Structure 1
Amino acid sequence: MLVKILTSIGSIASIIFGIWHFFAPQIWDWYSYIYKTATELIVAVRAINIFFSLSLLLLGVANLLFVFRIIQDQFSLGVMLGISTILWSMRVVLQIIYPQGSQNPTVQYSMLAIFILVALCYGTSLVVVFNESYN
């Protein structure tokens, strides 16, 4: 039950970040920082953001599908949780080294706290699944 709760929290956060990121370029007016003549760069940034956004969304959905399967495959669930733990842990590291939202400390540290929470949700679930597999 703990794994389902924690994975759900992490997955919902991943899905929300994925959906939000589809709109981030418009919200933050990303392309105003790029020369209008740099069309290839604009296309590349757009493509990377769409790929990133969709990846977060799909990863969140996949984790939910794996954790709520009627017949659970612990290995597959562990792999998905491991991938999610690594990705969100890296996001924590990047937020510490290269913080986003640094213009506003509340935003910067709120983002860090959320990233840590999501990484811990996935990481704790991974440890529980791993321990259940070997007990």
Structure 2
Amino acid sequence: MKLLTLIGSFCTMGFGVWHFFVPKAWNWYSYIVPEATELVAAVRAINVFFSLSLILFGAANLLVVFGAKNRYASIVLLSVSTVLWAVRCMMQLIYPQGSINPALQYGMLTAFILIFVCFASAALLAAFGKQPSLS
């Protein structure tokens, strides 16, 4: 459970850090007319909060699972992370991003599914499995 949480959390935090740079890397604002200043500000704010949320979720998962023993908190936080990544997988299937390059589109889907599997497995192990001690 701890290894799966470690992998899922670091991947989540990595996506969060990476996403801070996505608007510039993909030139997001060139698709919005310059007069739409409120829209630019809204997109920027949403991206900052999204990026920060991913970093905080990843860090919180690590702190709860590797911190003091609290099985309930671990199950809740891992379940929330599972739902987050399940929705991201569904969104990638229904409204795929990166469709200009199939390697990017399916690479993103693969990464999202792997992170989902890590958190779902860790949540199930926390809820129903034995709790091995790595300390």
TM, length-normalised to structure 1 = 0.94
Query: Which amino acid counterpart does residue 11 of structure 1 have in structure 2?
Result: S
1:117 aligns with 2:114: yes
Cα offset for 1:72?
1.1
The one of 43, 67, 78 equivalent to 1:81 is 78
Cα offset for 1:44?
0.3
**Which residues in structure 2 correspond to 1:57-96 (within 5 Å)?**
57-69=55-67, 71-96=68-93
Number of the residue aligned with 2:50: 52
Runs (4 or more) in structure 1 with deviation over 3 Å come to none
The one of 110, 114, 125 equivalent to 1:128 is 125
Q: Distance in 2 between matches of 1:74 and 1:132?
A: 11
The one of 7, 10, 30 equivalent to 1:12 is 10
Query: Which amino acid counterpart does residue 107 of structure 2 have in structure 1?
Result: S
Q: Distance in 2 between matches of 1:102 and 1:44?
A: 24
Root-mean-square deviation (CA, aligned residues, Å) is 0.9
Question: Deviation digits for residues 51-91 of structure 1, max 9, x if unmatched?
Answer: 0000000000000111111x310000111000000000000
> Which consecutive unaligned segments of at least 5 residues does structure 1 have?
none
Q: Distance in 2 between matches of 1:132 and 1:119?
A: 18
Q: Percent identity?
A: 52
Number of the residue aligned with 2:37: 39
Q: Distance in 1 between matches of 2:90 and 2:55?
A: 21
> Which consecutive unaligned segments of at least 5 residues does structure 2 have?
131-135
Question: Deviation digits for residues 14-64 of structure 1, max 9, x if unmatched?
Answer: 000000001111111100000000000000000000000000000000001
